[in-house]
Chain A
Amino acid sequence: SQQGEEDPQALSIQEGENATMNCSYKTSINNLQWYRQNSGRGLVHLILIRSNEREKHSGRLRVTLDTSKKSSSLLITASRAADTASYFCASIPTDKLIFGTGTRLQVFP
């Protein structure tokens, strides 16, 4: 069962543009994570935001969390072709990590 729904499902942008993807989740959480997956490979953890945080930055990544709306967003600034990947939000509502549906990002040079 999926904990998070992400939108858009797919996003295509030019290098240098910003990319924003959104995640909505169903149940209360202690934290929310974002992972990146390059073309059928393993997932890489990007950032974790705790339920008492509203915004967090890591390099070109900015994550926001609105627990009242049960939603989060991931912003990638000044995108690069190497950012082309699928991005998943994930949370642990009970005792296991459950992923959202994912956003496929394509960054054109």
Chain B
Amino acid sequence: DTEVTQTPKHLVMGMTNKKSLKCEQHMGHRAMYWYKQKAKKPPELMFVYSYEKLSINESVPSRFSPECPNSSLLNLHLHALQPEDSALYLCASSTPRTETQYFGPGTRLLVL
């Protein structure tokens, strides 16, 4: 299984809502990533988990809260988001020392 899955595919939320994005992989990868991508821009790294521990936080606002419950799952908890947070959120995984990353299809988020 060489697939990274993400749910939901689309999400619309208000600025006072709490929601979560979910990412799952069964490739045995021990590094997992969250990226944010705005239209016509490259993906920008948000968080990196290595062996279920947060290793990189790219100064992301606290309204984004990542969680890695086990080696296959990665969540991104969202609370009190702003309209400018609307974007495509991509999850990826890799082996910690391999440069190639495998991406999920993304969650398209709209904050109203």
Q: Which residues of A contact B (CB under 8 A)?
A: 2, 30-31, 33, 35, 40-45, 48, 88, 92, 95-102, 104
Contact between chains at A33 and B43 (CB < 8 Å): no
Q: How many B residues are at the interface, by size bracket?
A: 20 to 34
Distance of A6 from chain B, by nearest CB (Å): 9
CB-based contact A97/B101 at 8 Å: yes
Find chain B residues with CB under 8 A from A31 CB. 99
Within 8 A of A (CB), among B79-112: 88, 90, 92, 99-106, 108
Q: Determine if A41 and B45 form an interchain contact, defined as CB atoms under 8 angstroms apart.
A: no
Q: Given contacts A48-B100, A95-B56, A97-B99, is CB(A42)–CB(B42) below 8 Å?
A: no
25 A-B pairs within 8 Å (CB atoms) are namely A2-B42, A35-B103, A40-B106, A41-B106, A42-B6, A42-B90, A43-B43, A43-B90, A44-B103, A45-B101, A48-B99, A48-B100, A88-B42, A92-B99, A95-B56, A96-B45, A96-B56, A96-B58, A97-B33, A97-B99, A100-B42, A101-B42, A102-B40, A102-B42, A104-B40
Instruction: For A48, list chain B residues within 8 Å (CB).
Output: 99-100
Which chain B residue lies CB-closest to A6?
B42
Interface residue B4 (Cβ < 8 Å from any Cβ of A):
yes
Determine the distance from Cα of A92 to Cα of B108 in the docked complex, in whole angstroms.
26
Task: Determine if B105 and A41 form an interchain contact, defined as CB atoms under 8 angstroms apart.
Answer: yes
Chain A residues within 8 Å of B33, by CB: 97
- Asked whether A42 lies within 8 Å of B105 as measured between CB atoms, the reply is yes
Task: Point out the residues of chain B lying under 8 angstroms from A42, CB to CB.
Answer: 4, 6, 90, 103-106
**CB-CB < 8 A to B4: which residues of A?**
42
Contacts of A30 in B (CB 8 A): 99
Which of chain A's residues has its CB closest to B94's CB?
A: A97
Greatest chain B CB density within 10 A among A40, A92, A97, A104 is at A97
Residues of the A chain whose Cβ atoms lie less than 8 Å from the Cβ of B42: 2, 88, 99-102
Cβ of B66 to closest chain A Cβ, rounded Å: 15
Q: Is the CB of A97 within 8 A of B45?
A: yes
Report the Cα distance A3→B106, complex, angstroms. 23
